[in-house]
Amino acid sequence: MPEHTELEQELLAGLNGPQREAVTTTEGPLLILAGPGSGKTRVITHRIAYLVRCRGVRPWHILAVTFTNKAAREMQERLEKLVGLSEAREMYIGTFHAICARVLRAEADLLAPFGLTRSFVILDTDDQAALIKQALRDLDLDEKQYRVSLIHALISRAKNAMLSPYQMAEQARRYTEEVAARVYRRYQQLLRSNNSVDFDDLLMLTEQLWRTESEVLARYQQRWQYIHVDEFQDCNVPQYKLIRLLGRGSYERPGGSGNVCVVGDDDQMIYSWRGASAENVQAFERDFPEARIILLEQNYRSTQHILDAAQCVVRRNTARKEKRLWTALGQGEKLIYHEAYNDEAEGLYVADEILKLLARGEVAHRGEIAVMYRTNAQSRALEEQFLRANIPYKVIGSRKFYERKEVKDMLAYLRLLLNPHDDLSLQRIINVPNRKIGPKSLGELQRWAREEQLSLYDALQRSEDHPTLGRAAKNALQQFAHLLAELRSSVAELRLPELLDRVAERTGYGPELRASPEGEERWSNILELRRVAEDYAEIETSLALELFLENVALVGGADVAQTGEDGTLLHEEDQDAVTLITLHAAKGLEFPVVFIVGLDEGILPHGRSIDSPEQLEEERRLAYVGFTRAMRRLYLVRARRRSYFGDVVYTEPSRFLADIPPDLFASSPGSESRRQSSTWERGGRYESYDHDHEDYGSRRVYGGAASRPRRSVPADTTFTPSSADVSSTPAAPRFQPGDRVLHHLFGQGIVLKSELESGSEFVEVQFQGKHGKKRLSLDYARLERLP
């Protein structure tokens, strides 16, 4: 078939030898171990495209698993480009948790033994904590002594090791763990009586279902015949077991296609705290002994200086296999190191530098820039400066929006409509807005519900029969019961966005917020939530509710972008923005320009990891992951003082800086920041030139250890950007006025105009229906041309 060869040529054209081998080895297990930027993810996407377009594999037989939502979205987008929207939509691409949620929901009939029904809800972190707290109270344990966060972490660790409460108690190595095992038991009871699951349950229950129900497993083995796992090094035990079951069946009942392609890099293993372990690679080799192993050695992402620096940091880890990694992209620019006076100045420096990059045209779009940090808390200092400098940015993985009270309240209503036995949500909103059902009435109702073995919802419906509650309380409860029943019946009548409207209006929550000026912002948040719900308007409402709530729980909603001026929330595709992201979430991504901030002892490596050699190695890998995200320019930034929980703390430079040979650094760009640049004196003493010269001499310097190899001055040459660095973008517009287009959210539309602006194409599209006219950047918007 000649088209085949042509297609094949096209797909294989952008691949090197070993990559081609990986892509065309479509049958049997495949293990790809390779360093960053070597095209592992590219192999997965091209392999999938090859399967579908050259080997005639139907797209619904394809499964691709990622670890973060962002990675799943990126892969979906890459595949849409390679195989087209309609085919890509038929594949299953998602995180383990999302896949498990989908499986469990689909197998609703078999959930009864687990104490769940189809309408189970996935609890977010806060709700999980609330249940732990409840469990502690039920067991008469002191919350001060047994901190919720600690107990929660211990329970989660046990669940990820697939231990039952009983097994956890047996294996307890300290008293706290024994107590946690008791809490675990109660916590599971509470979860189930709420008809709810936590994140760990999703994995464990699916594994259990597949392991015990062989016909069910067989169906999924039939369905997903080509399995791909990205970032395999971060698999934990239940996740690996899922892959094994799907690809090879259980020891007792072998099965599955055996077509399992896993790709990973042990130097990028950064989730061992979540149960990831290098043992999974060994397990894979044991369980799939015939696996073809392919190594990739050429890095296509970064320039040599960046790679060198990254490898110098990770090379200090013991017990790692050295991998060859080279780039043909040339030496490239040197790294830029900057030391700021404090964390505020750190943010200011980054913001300034970004403005300069844009002004000089060294970077065409803000989207080419990412700022990475170790802890989420570090984003605030950056955000403040970005707001001041009017730099649009987006914080990836920020859950802030979904943590707002009004948003949580609305979501609690929605969850209750789906799953009336969600006592947690009912408790939350029974008196929101105020309907005179205070803690006393609620407490009495709960006590009674427990006594009568009713869910809170059923108890509410029958509150007339309550023996002791007074008339006023009963009236209030009855009225609320009717309200809920009425809202529940409107699920059948309304689309999801309209359902949200009805909830807001009928509960009186909307009117209350709109009535006061203070409520205005909160009301606009509810409108924002409604906007997210609009994506589900076309789907049958009860299914839409399920999907919407699942998405909120697992994805934490859209990545939130914020404009400079007014702080309004905008969605990702709406504008060109700088990315703010944790090092963890950045794994698998790449950006032309990367800033890593907080290269301080205590931050990176994090203070909690400093005492343990294993954890310190993980910090090193984290730095490695961060460095290797950069394509052509890498900034390493730190602050000498930092506010920590309010008070000021002096920091020392990260020990990782000392691992980088000084000749890989350029000086700070520009003359005015040269004043701020810092240097190490010959004696290893650290000295700074900006602001003041107060003597902090008693503080120790540079990693604190005199024995540390000391750095000399990073060469103090002026930084000159090379013209080759300016990224090139197409000179001709892709769309013309009159073109018919399809957008994944807004549907069909007609291009009104198209213009090129600093190398990016912007189109104005008139969409059909309520979306109306929109201006989109083609750098972000996914637009398909329609014939």
Partner DNA sequence: GCCGCGCCCCTTTTT
Partner DNA sequence: GGGGCGCGGC
- Contact partner at residue 301 from ligand ATP, DNA, none, CB < 5 to 8 Å by partner kind: ligand ATP
Fill in the DSSP letter of residue 105. H
101 or 545, CB closer to DNA? 101
Comparing CB distances to DNA, the nearer of 372 and 666 is 372
Q: Which of 231, 308, 535, 725 is catalytic?
A: 231
Q: Is 717 a catalytic residue?
A: no
- 67 phi, psi to nearest 5 deg: -100, -30
Q: How far is the CB of 289 from ligand ATP (least distance, A)?
A: 25
Q: Answer for the pair 267, 315: CB distance below 8 angstroms, yes or no.
A: no
- The residue annotated as part of the active site, out of 200, 230, 528, 725, is 230
Minimum distance, C-beta of residue 94 to ligand ATP, in the bound complex (Å): 18
In the residue annotation, 629 being an active-site residue is answered as: yes
Q: How far is the CB of 255 from DNA (least distance, A)?
A: 26
Q: Encoding tokens for residue 15?
A: 């691949």
Radius of gyration of the chain from its Cα atoms, rounded to whole angstroms: 28
Q: Which does 40 bind (CB under 5 to 8 A by kind): DNA, ligand ATP, none?
A: ligand ATP
Sequence-ordered list of residues with C-beta below 8 angstroms from that of 380, at least 6 positions apart, any chain: none
- Does 646 interact with DNA (rule: CB under 7 A)? yes
Catalytic, 774? Answer no
Q: How far is the CB of 4 from ligand ATP (least distance, A)?
A: 21
CA gap 744, 476 in Å, rounded = 45
Whether 206 sits among the annotated catalytic residues: the reply is no
Contact 733, 742 (CB under 8 A): no
Residues in region 183-242 near DNA by CB under 7 A: 199-200
Partner in contact with 2, chosen from ligand ATP, DNA, none, beta carbon below 5 to 8 Å by kind: none
Burial class (CB in 10 A: 0-12, 13-18, 19+), 239: buried
Residue 605 to residue 615: CA distance in whole angstroms: 9
Q: Return the one option of ligand ATP, DNA, none that residue 706 interacts with (CB less than 5 to 8 A, by type).
A: none
The count of chain residues that interact with DNA, using the rule CB under 7 A, is 44
Binding footprint of ligand ATP on the chain (CB under 6 A):
14-16, 19, 34, 36-42, 265, 268, 300-301, 588, 590, 628
Q: Minimum Å distance from CB 592 to DNA? A: 22
Assess 447 for contact with DNA (CB under 7 A).
no
Q: Do the annotations mark residue 36 as ligand-binding?
A: yes
41 known member of a binding site: yes
Catalytic: which of 41, 45, 579, 628?
Answer: 41
Dihedral sign (CA 164, 165, 169, 172): positive
Q: Give the interface segment with DNA, choosing from 18-26, 608-616, 673-681, 735-743 (CB under 7 A).
A: 608-616
Across 54-194, where does the E strand assignment appear? 62-66, 92-95, 121-122
Task: Tell whether residue 489 is a contact of DNA (CB under 7 A).
Answer: no
| 39 marked ligand binding residue | yes
Here the tokens at position 446 are: 């709960």
38 marked as binding residue: yes
Instruction: Return the number of the residue (93 or 484) whose C-beta is nearest ligand ATP.
Output: 93
The answer to whether 254 is annotated as binding is: no
Q: Would you call the peptide bond into 59 cis, given omega within 30 degrees of 0 as the criterion?
A: no
- Selecting among 19, 20, 40, 444, the annotated active-site residue is 40
* CA atoms of 590 and 560, how far apart (whole Å): 19
- CA-wise closest residue to 16 among 261, 270, 296, 278: 296
Tell me the one-letter amino acid at 675: R
Residue type, 303: T
Closer to ligand ATP by Cβ: residue 11 or 577 = 11
Cα–Cα distance list, 457 to 130, 405, 489, 506, 713 (Å): 18, 22, 15, 18, 69
Cβ closest to ligand ATP, residue 33 vs residue 456: 33
Say if residue 721 carries a ligand binding annotation: no
Query: Can you tell me the distance from the alpha carbon of 473 to that of 451, in angstroms, rounded to the nearest whole number?
Result: 19
- Residue by residue, DSSP assigns 261-328 as EEEE-GGG---GGGTB-THHHHHHHHHSTT-EEEEE-EESSS-HHHHHHHHHHHTT-SS------EES
Rule CB under 7 A: say whether 440 interacts with DNA: yes
Q: Of 68-76, 285-293, 419-427, 565-573, which segment contacts DNA by CB under 7 A?
A: 68-76
35 is in an annotated binding site: yes
- Hey, what amino acid is at 544? A
What part of residues 359-398 is at the interface with DNA (CB under 7 A)?
Answer: 374-377, 380, 384, 397
Q: Select from DNA, ligand ATP, none the partner in contact with residue 16, using the beta carbon and a kind-dependent cut-off of 5 to 8 Å.
A: ligand ATP
In 404-467, which ranges are E strands?
none
- Is residue 546 annotated as part of the catalytic site, yes or no? no
- 125 near DNA, rule: CB under 7 A: yes
- Are 658 and 708 contacting, i.e. CB atoms less than 8 angstroms apart? yes
Cα–Cα distance between 584 and 581 in angstroms, integer?
A: 8
Instruction: Reply yes or no on whether 53 is catalytic.
Output: no
User: Which among ligand ATP, DNA, none contacts residue 528 (Cβ within 5 to 8 A by kind)?
Assistant: none
Cβ-based nearer residue to ligand ATP, 535 or 590: 590
Q: Which is nearer to ligand ATP, 264 or 684 (CB)?
A: 264
Please state, in angstroms and rounded to a whole number, the distance separating the CA atoms of residues 190 and 169.
19
Q: Which residue is nearest to ligand ATP (CB)?
A: 39
Q: Which of 324, 328, 322 is nearest to 302 (CA)?
A: 328
What is the rounded CA–CA span in Å between residue 166 and residue 178?
A: 10
Closest CB 150 distance from DNA, rounded Å:
8
* Residue 556 sits in the site that holds DNA (CB under 7 A): yes
Q: Annotated binding residue at 733?
A: no
Q: Which residues are annotated as a binding site for ATP?
A: 34-41
- Catalytically active residues are 40-41, 230-231, 268, 629
Binding site for DNA (CB under 7 A): 67-70, 95-98, 125-126, 133, 147, 149, 199-200, 270-271, 273-274, 374-377, 380, 384, 397, 431, 434, 438-441, 554, 556, 582, 584-585, 606, 608-609, 615, 643, 645-646
Give the residue numbers of the binding site: 34-41
